[in-house]
Amino acid sequence: MLSICVLPQDLSSSIMLRKGSELLNRDREVLLDMDYGGETQTTDSYGSLQNGGFIPPRYVSINFVLVWEVRLRRKRKSEQRKAQLAQWREKFVQNLESAGLLMEEEETANEKKTIHFLKLNAPWDVLVCYAEELYLRAPLQAQPNLDLNTSARVLSRLCIPNVMKESVPNRPLDYYTCAFRKSKMHRFLGYESHDTYFTNTQRHRVVYEILARTVYGKRKRAEVGVDRLLNEGAYTAAFPLHEGPFKLPKYEIRPDELNQRQVLYHYWARWGKWYKYQPLDHIREYFGEKIALYFAWLGFYTAWLLPAAVVGTLVFVCNIFVSVSVNSKEICTKGDSYLMCPLCNTCKAWNMSDICTMAKLGYLFDHPGTVLFSVFMSFWAVTFLEYWKRKMATLAHHWDCMDFHEEEERPRPEFAAMAPTMEQNPVTGVKEPYFPEKTRLSRMFTGSMVIIMMVRQYVNAGTIANISSSIVNLGLILLMGQVYTALAEQLTKWEMHRTQTQYDNAFIFKVFIFQFVNFYSSPFYVAFFKGRFVGYPTNYGTLFGMRNEDCGPGGCLIELAEQLFIIMVGKQLINNIQEFIIPKLKAWRQKKTLSKVLGDKSSHENRRWEEDYKLVECEGLFEEYLEMVLQFGFITIFVAAFPLAPLFALLNNWVEIRLDAHKFVCEYRRPVAERAQNIGVWFIILEALSHLSVIANAFLIAFTSDFLPRLLYQYKFNNDLNDYVNFTLAYAPLNYTEYPLCRYKAFRDNNGNYTLFYWELLAVRLGFIIAFEHVVFFVLRAIDWIVPDVPESLELKIKRERYLAKQALAENQEALLVSRSRGVASAT
């Protein structure tokens, strides 16, 4: 007979309803179950699937901890709620016992409140059953660990010492794998050792799966899962335990005797390791693929910033020597002869020589070298994304996530609590909370209108803030960022998305749109609108009775560079300070609260679950990705005006990697390991930004920079740019009596009409934009075509893995053919 796993009714119903479709959609690499006549396996372990139990002390590791607090002094109004939560917890624990989990409860109390810790462990039979249900990968054959760092391979071939490489102990082994099957367990490596066969992250996933499926109330009301219990306040925390302390012991210890957390801290999270490669396999082994992919992407992005920073710095340095010697001479030597018209209604006339220093600074950013650099960065952005796709595919296969697809997700706890009706799920056949699709679409449309109105309001506010100072503007941006994030969260909750993935994608999209406008509206205004609709003396353009704003004496490009520097660098500094201080303050507050409950026992060494409860709850990766994606926009969209942006981004990211590593290893509770094969919707946003950067840089060079006017002047009049500044200045009309014959920057005649040179320049600008975009996009498509998404070596490795999976079945397949031939012979 076929060996099966017996599950409690609450948990087995959803599994059995999917059984038929699962058998049809098994992984191609699954070891086929040929011997259906095998005996049902029995267990002599300390637990079973039908009966839960208590964890024998000192014998079983703790996989998960549930925590809840009970205040001893409460008002009468809360007694009913307190009893309801206790009833839910009691039924939840009973169903966890029925699911086969082992558990043990401990409590710590003082005169005000009691903190309960429920420690959970999944015995071997539970792990085996759910490993097959969750399609966990099982090892077939060990293989050498590959060096996935391209720079390490290049330096090795060139025989150059690699200071970034470091031997990290206890590196996880690499295997050829296939989907786990209980009936073929003897085919997998290490199946004899029940204690070490499943990794800790796999055990956490199994226990969390049971916690997420277990009923605590009425299924018709969708009272299911630990997530909703946390949302209701029945539990205050649910987390897997860290492997132990992260600090090294005071006595001497061999590197291979360190626990996983100590290895990550000593070889990764310390500031002294800022120049070392990240131990990605160790990160994945400890935190799971989703977090490991974030750090892999961040490290890959930071490495690619190095050539961009070098080229940008060289362009900036070259501009210093070229611009000072050529372009600033006329302004500094002949500027006294150019009386300039006032820049605003309350301003006075000024001499061109007054901006000698500002002109020299302006030419550092407005130079032909910046044009070449913007083209380089356009190619850099797309090439970076193409090679990241290759890296992502390699890591996904290396971490057994190549064919991973998210299972049919359960409804979110908030959705289940607020949905008005119950409907049958067409996939699982189980009744679930349901929200009418028409109502959801109408809410999404209303939310989109709110987004548009907020965007329009902030665009107007951004232009006003730009008139004041860049520092005040930065403060407004950071303040409005918090407001917009809170608004996006409320709008996304109101839209009633069923699954967490749908909710996350909608939330990410809203916040990114808000933050895109929030951070980029001021630079866009300075780059493309400021000074464009000023008019001329006696005919100045106005808006709401106010004269349109003109660029400063140094031009709009130097203002844009100033805006980018203050917003980008200021934001990075403030974010890093917040990431360093805020988790420490939260952890201090949590430790202080727990120490009050422990009382005199606080002087003794705390137990692992108490130490982890003192840590800060992991806040996920949303803020980390958002910060880096906004930075990617700064270094690509406006790079023509600020070639030093990649350098500042590189310096920030070196700090960011260690800050994030320290948070996850030392200050956060251990998150549940999640599987993923890519970085999700963030990659789509990065691709959109890379394409937008091509268009933005084309317009920036054509209309904001003086590159094309100087080029046309050289072609038509003087190759040495003699008298170029005088050529770009027009005389005020004769009827302008306030400052007769003052000058202003424009290609107009004495009557205020555009000159022929203006129309010729306009044609050149439009032609440049078309040519620039077509050439760059053509090369980008060529790069996309030339660079395959999956490396050839990886394709060979995938074929090798499939071959080994088939070879493992050869013996059984031959036996099956022999038995069939004997059966046919006996029948004849």
pLDDT tens-digit series, residues 231-277: 888 999 999 999 888 888 888 888 888 899 999 999 999 988 888 89
CA distance 828 to 820: 13
* CA-only gyration radius of the chain, Å: 33
pLDDT tens per residue, range 797-809: 777 767 766 665 5
Give the residue carrying structure tokens 């055990």: 203
Q: Band of the pLDDT at 279, cuts 50, 70, 90?
A: very high
CA distance 52 to 750: 94
Angle between helices 289-326 and 280-287 (to 10 degrees): 140
CA distance 179 to 136: 6
Average pLDDT over residues 743-755: 87
pLDDT tens per residue, range 433-464: 666 666 667 766 676 666 666 655 554 444 44
Of 622, 614, 624, which Cα lies nearest the Cα of 579? 624
pLDDT tens per residue, range 296-312: 999 999 999 999 999 99
Q: 3-state SS string over 359-391?
A: HHHHHHHCCHHHHHHHHHHHHHHHHHHHHHHHH
Q: What pLDDT shows up at residue 444?
A: 67
Q: What pLDDT shows up at residue 21?
A: 36
Handedness of CA 232, 234, 240, 246 (dihedral sign): positive
Take residue 608 and report the two structure tokens written for it.
């692992």
Of 735, 726, 733, which Cα lies nearest the Cα of 750? 733
Share of the chain above pLDDT 70, in %: 76
Residue-wise DSSP of 114-138 = EEEEEEEE--HHHHHHHHHHTT-EE
Q: Find out whether 550 and 343 touch, Cβ atoms under 8 Å.
A: yes
Q: What pLDDT shows up at residue 251?
A: 81
Take residue 700 and report the two structure tokens written for it.
């920036």
Q: What pLDDT shows up at residue 656?
A: 92
Q: Band of the pLDDT at 32, cuts 50, 70, 90?
A: very low
Other beta carbons less than 10 A from residue 221's beta carbon:
12
Give the residue carrying structure tokens 């409460």: 74
Q: What pLDDT shows up at residue 453?
A: 64
Q: Find out whether 416 and 222 touch, Cβ atoms under 8 Å.
A: yes
Give the residue carrying structure tokens 């700090």: 655
Q: Band of the pLDDT at 407, cuts 50, 70, 90?
A: low
Average pLDDT over residues 37-54: 36
pTM of the model: 0.81
Q: What pLDDT shows up at residue 826?
A: 47
Residue 346 phi, psi (nearest 5): -100, 5
Residues linked to residue 433 through DSSP beta bridges, in sequence order: 422
Share of the chain above pLDDT 90, in %: 18
Whether 65 has a pLDDT exceeding 90, the answer reads yes
